[in-house]
A and B are shown apart, each in its own frame.
Chain A
Amino acid sequence: MRAAVLRKEPSSMPAPIDPIVEVRGISKSYGSTEALRGIDLDFPRGKLTSLLGPSGCGKTTLLKIIAGLIKANAGSIAVDGKVVTAPGPERAFVFQDFALMPWATALRNVAFGLELRGKARAEREEIARHYIAEVGLAGFEDKYPHQLSGGMRQRVGLARALSVDADVLLLDEPFSAVDEQNRRKFQEDLIRLRSNQNKTFIFVTHSIEEAVYISDRIVLLSPRPGRVSQIIEPEIDRSGDPDLIHRDKHYLDTVQEIWQGLKQYAE
């Protein structure tokens, strides 16, 4: 574990070291529509990898297959070397539409993953309170989802995923239903959270800027059927002021490079 964290030297080599999630030959069709064809991917431990591509490239499908929520027609997924076909405790999901129970308070929603695992109430609520504070929602524990803004609801969703202490967090376009200002703030918070959580993030997005801003690694998928077209590792220093990243030369160059690659798929 520690070795993985220390391995921080910048490498432009696409070959990842110590993959935590291995995707091998994944294919998926819906009837006659081919969503994914022969996907081979490694997700390095402790890094944030984005799956980026235009709509219809199967990025959410791939994420849900990794989560064990959708069955693939062919291929396999291994987490920590073990093949998985169903959801497991080492993976936690953050949903595009938040998927919060409207009848439960923020606290119960965050503790829900632990509640399902039969953890005692006092214990799970203590953990939930910790992560609610961690995502910046302290004081909102007893609010119901309808009393929270879109951004705050997704913070609840993130806290729920963090509180089950999974090694891999799977985020499915988590900011797409959040307004622009809150999305910026949330992205900054995510960079901060990453640096002190020591988890692997797999992040689906259709925003080039978002992907470059937060990712260690970007997997570009091409549509119909979804295939891996390119893997990019932006070398951006995120230790300083997050606002400076938007003016970083590498940041701007990478955004431009990806756009040139994706342009052909725009309608």
Chain B
Amino acid sequence: MATGIRTESEAVGLATRSTRGEVGGWRDQPVLLRLVSIALFAGIWEIAGRIPVSFAFPTFSATFTAFIGLIADGSLPLAYVSTLQPLLLGIVLSAFLGVGLGTLCGLWRTGEWLLIPVFIVLQAAPVAAFIPMVTFVYGIGMTAKTLAVMILALPVIVLNTYKAVRNVNESLVVMCRSFLGTRWQVVTQIVLPDASPVIFAGLRLGVAAGFVGVVLAELLITPTGIGDLITFHRSRADYAEMYATIASIIALSTLTLIVLQWIEVRVFRPETRGA
């Protein structure tokens, strides 16, 4: 009985939400649209593979079969175990260090002069060129891979956070001070929430760059993990397996970004939910 009533009220809630948009109908079915988009992509891939565009370009179905095979024989999970450790460590370190340093530079003039030029140069530089250097100093282990993730992810996180903190709504800061907010409260209650959309944009770019960093490191330096799996299958001309590996890391990267966005909306900007 109670469940019946609940479902009904939920249905009413859904109906009012969908009528709120200007255009009704199929546009209000984002899940369906996304599935159609994915199916369309897979279809075009399949056709391109069957033409074929290149002898080294497998069809979607062959790639998918290879993907199942890679999971079944354990080589893909094993590769991820070795790739995810430096990736996760590097991203988490970059996120905390980056947001911390960026906030510091945004609030403190001396810090801004000391650090921001370094990060502007780092962001402009083709940092992938540093990766062999990192290997030279730190050898071919976790440290080198983690550093590769960080030199790619850190600059964009620091610079976005710094810009967001510098452009914080001054009127809200004054409001917080007038209601007796301490310096710490101004930062945690006003500056960071107000800056959070731009900080998260930086985090998303940073996470994406971190994926680039770890794959580059594995292709260039340490023949382990996903990078090694890609190289290995390429050398054996197992193109379906190679594509499956590449697609899997793209999918994982996308999934991470979606999770990040979900956290942002849930925790920091609830007012943008459903808007």
A residues apposed to B, CB below 8 Å: 67-69, 87-89, 91-93, 95, 97, 99, 101-103, 112-113, 115-117, 144-146, 160, 164
A146 to chain B, nearest CB (A): 6
A89 neighbours in B (Cβ, 8 Å): 180
Q: Are B180's CB and A88's CB within 8 A?
A: yes
- Rounded to whole angstroms, the CA-CA distance of A67 and B177 in the bound complex is 10
Q: Are B180's CB and A99's CB within 8 A?
A: no
Q: Are A87's CB and B270's CB within 8 A?
A: no
- Rounded to whole angstroms, the CA-CA distance of A252 and B177 in the bound complex is 40
Q: Which B-chain residue is minimally distant from A144 (CB atoms)?
A: B271
Q: Are A69's CB and B177's CB within 8 A?
A: yes
A146 neighbours in B (Cβ, 8 Å): 271
A68 neighbours in B (Cβ, 8 Å): 178
Q: Are B190's CB and A116's CB within 8 A?
A: no
Q: Which A-chain residue is minimally distant from B169 (CB atoms)?
A: A99
Q: Are A69's CB and B271's CB within 8 A?
A: no
A69 neighbours in B (Cβ, 8 Å): 174, 177-178
Q: Are B268's CB and A103's CB within 8 A?
A: yes
B19: interface (CB < 8 Å): no
Q: Which A-chain residue is minimally distant from B182 (CB atoms)?
A: A116
Q: Are A103's CB and B177's CB within 8 A?
A: no
B171: interface (CB < 8 Å): yes
B177 neighbours in A (Cβ, 8 Å): 69, 87
- Rounded to whole angstroms, the CA-CA distance of A99 and B171 in the bound complex is 6
Q: Are A101's CB and B193's CB within 8 A?
A: yes
A115 neighbours in B (Cβ, 8 Å): 189
Q: Which of B171, B179, B193, B268 contacts A116 (CB 8 A)?
A: B179
Q: Are B172's CB and A116's CB within 8 A?
A: no
Q: Are A103's CB and B271's CB within 8 A?
A: yes
Q: Are B175's CB and A93's CB within 8 A?
A: yes
Q: Which of A87, A101, A160 contacts B180 (CB 8 A)?
A: A87
B171 neighbours in A (Cβ, 8 Å): 95, 97, 99
- 8 smallest CB-CB distances across A and B, nearest first, come from A99-B175, A113-B179, A144-B271, A93-B178, A116-B181, A99-B171, A87-B178, A103-B269
B270 neighbours in A (Cβ, 8 Å): 103, 144
Q: Are B179's CB and A87's CB within 8 A?
A: yes
Q: Render B256-275 as a binary contact track against A, CB cut-off 8 A, 1 for contact.
A: 00000000000011110000
- Rounded to whole angstroms, the CA-CA distance of A99 and B175 in the bound complex is 6
- Rounded to whole angstroms, the CA-CA distance of A145 and B189 in the bound complex is 17
Q: Are A116's CB and B189's CB within 8 A?
A: yes
Q: Which B-chain residue is minimally distant from A91 (CB atoms)?
A: B178
Q: Are A101's CB and B269's CB within 8 A?
A: no
B62: interface (CB < 8 Å): no
- Rounded to whole angstroms, the CA-CA distance of A2 and B190 in the bound complex is 39
B78: interface (CB < 8 Å): no
**B186-220: which have CB < 8 Å to A?**
189-190, 193-194, 196
B92 to chain A, nearest CB (A): 25
A99 neighbours in B (Cβ, 8 Å): 171-172, 174-175
Q: Which of B180, B181, B182, B193 contacts A103 (CB 8 A)?
A: B193
Q: Which A-chain residue is minimally distant from B186 (CB atoms)?
A: A116
A177 to chain B, nearest CB (A): 12
A103 neighbours in B (Cβ, 8 Å): 193-194, 196, 268-271
A61 to chain B, nearest CB (A): 13
Q: Are B178's CB and A101's CB within 8 A?
A: no
B89: interface (CB < 8 Å): no
A234 to chain B, nearest CB (A): 29
B85: interface (CB < 8 Å): no
A89 to chain B, nearest CB (A): 6
A13 to chain B, nearest CB (A): 33
Q: Are B179's CB and A92's CB within 8 A?
A: yes
Among B176, B178, B189, B196, max chain A CB count under 10 A is at B178
Q: Which B-chain residue is minimally distant from A166 (CB atoms)?
A: B179
